[in-house]
């Protein structure tokens, strides 16, 4: 009997390590054993027999862990899983497809995550991306960090080497957990099939709770495939001989049994409760008093104001306070609201006697808080405490700082202030300033550039032709920076930009996710010719998945956002120059339709854009390769 040879499991562990150089992970005590006085019962013949019997019962079961993942996703209303296929995750993709969850494969893993990010923003649920182990996951790092900083709830599913092979040189095996822990709100590595359902449910709830953000679950390959497939990989090639061979075979069989123990027991798949912080009644009342006394209040809205369950758009009209909209809140007041102020923000903040930061952060976008008037009363509302108080120890001080949801706070504030409105003279003055500035911008659009088309004129023409249901995706530097001043999103969450991380390359993924969420909407990507290079291959994805979008490329053969400061400051254009590349032909090659548009087409711009819109409605992905010249618009803007 083995008990006569080994006095404890720890002796077995030491012997296995000494003779077979097995890592501690491989010979950890099986979970099926019960500790007695902190020592483990040694493997008896009876235990070996029972393990063998349990394994035999599972051999013919066709079920696999991928089905458990798919069951939870469907129960949570997930409609899309974005991926670049890999053998580690195939069971998840196949199971999702069988349950009616649409699998959308992209040409780069980063695009898959960007698409999941867009779905999260537009649907109010968690976006899901699944990629294979190793390089599949490392390719997503930038996109996951972007989602973290943009506060998008998404689930990243990653494959991994088998539980017994991690750290032993398996294909694509790296320490993935250490890579994603700094980027995600929650990270987990599933070790048994029975852990899949509770782990996925927990991750989805955490992604949406508090400040939304990405979560990551690693699935070792042996937790996803059917028992008979995994057993075949575990089984020794030859019948083990000798005592040690039998012990190794016993251990592997016992590990296999534990891996699948309780795998198919009935369990709850429903969503767990999501925690969202809210302002207290006292905090709301204090803010009511401050707003009611203000003569020149302004509201600065950030992307958080669009989060479910309470977007802030209805409350803004009731309050009557002039608003500056940033991030995804652009368009929240529609196309031509008298409350939406687009220009002269710095001047307005200097005059304001009350500033309400609703999900807006005092980072570089507000000069770290330095643009705020120290005499102003400042109300700051943010779900994240560190973002709520960012730089408040140096450049600004909140009068009231509320860790809570911005949308629900504004709704409660408007109800408490029912009947009260901001003095009408104040928004009227700000709107007049808007009109003057926009007339000046329009005059710049009418100027002739030295060569090619005036980019401001192009953007104005497109803006005038945009359908009311259009969604704008911003991916670029100089050309997109100009578009932010000129193009007017028609409604809430109809402008998608990367957010605070300033990531290039979001265009293909964001547009893909947007078109799938809103198939009836006209989706435009505003690209710089530099940023286009990151995701132009996704025109293949648009074609294969029948998700037609329109890409407007401002092609000035330059990384102009960098060049505009590098050349005058450092006297060199090194690494900034590109070429007037035939990107339209690339789009044709991927199954789309490309147009080259130059100065000779100026009188026909409207007709070309309308034709592109028509062809897009008919199912073609369109790329408008617009050759543009240089203007002095945004001169002096910096890229750091």
Task: Find the helix or strand (DSSP H, E) in which 131 lies.
Answer: strand 127-131
For residue 293, CA distances in Å to 280, 298, 351, 400, 561 come to 21, 13, 15, 15, 43
**Residue 150 pLDDT > 70, yes or no?**
yes
For residue 35, the cross-strand partners are 40
**How would you list the strands of the sheet with 622-627, edge to edge?**
495-496, 471-475, 523-528, 550-555, 622-627, 593-597
- Closest by CA to 80, choosing from 114, 36, 40, is 114
Assign 3-state DSSP to the chain and report helix, strand, coil percentages, each to 5: 45, 15, 40
Buried b (16+ CB within 10 A) or exposed e, 466-502: beeebbbbbbbbbbbbbbbebbbbbbbbbbbbbbbee
**Residue 588 pLDDT > 90, yes or no?**
yes
Q: How far apart are alpha carbons 339 and 319 in whole angstroms?
A: 10
What number is the average pLDDT over the span 176-189?
96
Question: Phi and psi (nearest 5°) for 233?
Answer: -75, -30
pLDDT digits (tens, 9 = 90+) for 361-385: 999 999 999 999 999 999 999 999 9
pTM of the full predicted structure? 0.90
- Residues 106, 512 contacting (CB under 8 angstroms): yes
For residue 509, CA distances in Å to 105, 214, 514 come to 11, 16, 8
For residue 519, CA distances in Å to 490, 522, 612, 622, 624 come to 16, 8, 17, 16, 21
- Examine residue 348 and say whether the peptide bond preceding it is cis (omega within 30 degrees of 0): no
- Closest by CA to 302, choosing from 382, 411, 412, is 382
| Complete domains list, the chain, with CATH | 58-260 (3.40.50.970), 281-430 (3.40.50.1220), 447-627 (3.40.50.970)
What number is the average pLDDT over the span 626-636?
85
Q: How far apart are alpha carbons 227 and 256 in whole angstroms?
A: 8
The rounded Cα 631 to chain-centroid distance in angstroms is 33
Q: Rg of the chain's alpha carbons, rounded to an integer?
A: 29
List the single range of 303-317, 467-481, 596-610 with lowest mean pLDDT. Answer: 303-317
Average pLDDT across the chain, whole number: 89
Classify 170 as helix, strand or coil: coil
Q: How far apart are alpha carbons 381 and 401 in whole angstroms?
A: 6
List the single range of 215-219, 234-238, 338-342 with lowest mean pLDDT. Answer: 234-238
Q: How far apart are alpha carbons 361 and 388 in whole angstroms?
A: 7
Q: What value, to the nearest 5°, has the Cα angle with vertex 627 and ends 449 and 436?
A: 45
List the single range of 94-98, 141-145, 392-396, 578-582 with lowest mean pLDDT. Answer: 392-396
pLDDT digits (tens, 9 = 90+) for 528-550: 999 999 999 999 999 999 999 99
Task: Find the helix or strand (DSSP H, E) in which 286 lies.
Answer: helix 281-293
Q: How far apart are alpha carbons 541 and 613 in whole angstroms?
A: 19
pLDDT digits (tens, 9 = 90+) for 292-339: 999 999 999 999 999 988 877 778 988 999 999 998 899 888 888 899
List the single range of 43-57, 65-79, 90-104, 371-385 with lowest mean pLDDT. Answer: 43-57
Buried b (16+ CB within 10 A) or exposed e, 74-105: bbbebebbbbbebebbbbbbebbeeeebebbe
User: Quick one: three-class SS letters along 385-410?
Assistant: HHHHCCCCCCCCCCCEEEECCHHHHH
- The pLDDT score that the predictor gives to residue 97 is 98
pLDDT band at residue 632 using 50, 70 and 90 as cut-offs: confident
Q: How far apart are alpha carbons 554 and 480 in whole angstroms?
A: 9
pLDDT digits (tens, 9 = 90+) for 390-444: 999 899 999 999 999 999 999 999 999 988 888 889 999 999 998 999 898 889 9
Buried b (16+ CB within 10 A) or exposed e, 219-236: bbbbbbbbbeebbeebee
What number is the average pLDDT over the span 151-166?
92
CA 366, 370, 374, 379 torsion: positive or negative?
A: positive
**Residue 57 pLDDT > 70, yes or no?**
no
pLDDT band at residue 109 using 50, 70 and 90 as cut-offs: very high
Task: Report DSSP letters for 584-605, one per residue.
Answer: HHHHHHTTSEEEEE-GGGGGGH
- The pLDDT score that the predictor gives to residue 288 is 96
pLDDT digits (tens, 9 = 90+) for 110-148: 999 999 999 999 998 999 999 999 999 999 999 999 999
pLDDT digits (tens, 9 = 90+) for 21-53: 444 333 333 333 333 333 333 444 444 444 444
- Closest by CA to 184, choosing from 199, 202, 206, is 206
Q: How far apart are alpha carbons 474 and 480 in whole angstroms?
A: 6
Q: What value, to the nearest 5°, has the Cα angle with vertex 173 and ends 220 and 69?
A: 25
């Amino acid at each position: 009997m083995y008990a006569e040879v080994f006095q404890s499991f720890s002796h077995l562990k030491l012997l296995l390590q000494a003779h077979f150089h097995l890592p501690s992970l491989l010979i950890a005590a099986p979970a099926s054993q019960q500790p007695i006085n902190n020592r483990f019962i040694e493997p008896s013949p009876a235990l070996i027999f029972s393990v063998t019997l349990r394994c035999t019962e599972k051999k013919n079961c066709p079920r696999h862990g991928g089905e458990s993942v798919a069951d939870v996703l469907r129960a949570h209303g997930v409609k899309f899983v974005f991926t670049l296929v890999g053998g580690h995750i195939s069971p998840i993709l196949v199971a999702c497809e069988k349950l009616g969850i649409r699998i959308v494969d992209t040409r780069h893993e980063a695009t898959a995550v960007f698409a999941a990010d867009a779905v999260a923003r537009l649907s109010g649920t968690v976006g899901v991306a699944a990629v294979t182990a190793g390089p599949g996951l490392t390719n997503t790092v930038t996109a996951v960090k972007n989602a973290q900083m943009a506060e998008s709830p998404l689930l990243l599913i990653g494959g991994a080497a088998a539980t017994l092979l991690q750290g032993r040189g398996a294909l694509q095996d790296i320490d993935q957990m250490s890579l994603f822990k700094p980027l995600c709100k929650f990270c987990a590595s599933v070790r048994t099939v029975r852990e899949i359902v509770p782990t996925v449910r927990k991750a989805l709830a955490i992604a949406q709770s508090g400040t939304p953000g990405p979560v990551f679950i690693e699935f070792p390959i042996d937790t996803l495939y059917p028992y008979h497939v995994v057993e075949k990989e575990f089984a020794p090639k030859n019948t083990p001989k000798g005592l040690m061979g039998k012990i190794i075979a016993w251990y592997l069989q016992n590990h296999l049994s534990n891996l699948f123990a309780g795998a198919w027991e009935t369990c709850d798949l429903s969503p767990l409760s999501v925690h969202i912080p809210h302002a207290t009644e006292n905090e709301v009342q204090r803010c009511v008093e401050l707003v009611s006394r203000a003569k020149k209040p302004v509201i600065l809205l950030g992307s958080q104001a669009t989060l479910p369950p309470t977007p802030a758009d209805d409350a803004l009209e009731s309050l009557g306070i002039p608003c500056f909209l940033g991030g995804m809140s652009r368009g929240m007041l529609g196309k031509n609201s008298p409350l939406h102020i687009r220009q002269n923000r710095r001047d307005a903040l200097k005059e304001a006697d009350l500033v309400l930061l609703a999900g807006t952060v005092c980072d570089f976008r507000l000069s770290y808080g330095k643009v705020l008037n120290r005499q102003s009363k400042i109300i700051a509302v943010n779900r994240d405490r560190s973002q709520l108080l960012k730089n408040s120890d140096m450049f600004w001080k909140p009068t009231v700082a509320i860790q809570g949801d911005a949308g629900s706070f504004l709704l409660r504030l408007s109800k408490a202030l029912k009947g009260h409105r901001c003095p009408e003279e104040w928004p009227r003055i700000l709107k007049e300033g808007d009109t003057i500035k926009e007339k000046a911008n329009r005059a710049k659009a009418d100027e002739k550039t030295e060569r090619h088309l005036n980019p401001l004129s192009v953007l104005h023409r497109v803006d005038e032709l945009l359908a009311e249901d259009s969604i704008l995706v911003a991916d670029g530097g100089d050309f997109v920076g100009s578009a932010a001043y000129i193009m007017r999103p028609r409604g809430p969450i109809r402008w998608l930009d990367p957010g605070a991380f300033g990531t290039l390359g979001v265009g293909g993924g964001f547009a893909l996710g947007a078109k799938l969420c809103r198939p009836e909407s006209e989706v435009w990507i505003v690209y710089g010719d530099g940023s286009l290079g990151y995701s132009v291959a996704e025109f293949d994805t648009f074609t294969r998945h029948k998700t037609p979008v329109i890409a407007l490329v401002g092609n000035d053969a330059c990384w102009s956002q960098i060049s505009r400061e590098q050349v005058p400051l450092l006297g060199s254009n090194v690494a900034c120059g590109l070429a007037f590349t035939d990107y339209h032909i690339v789009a044709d090659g991927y199954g789309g339709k490309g147009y080259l548009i130059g100065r000779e087409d100026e009188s026909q711009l409207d007709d070309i854009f309308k034709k592109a819109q028509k062809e897009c409605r008919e199912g073609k992905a369109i790329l408008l390769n617009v050759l543009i010249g240089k203007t002095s618009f945004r001169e002096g803007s910096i890229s750091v």
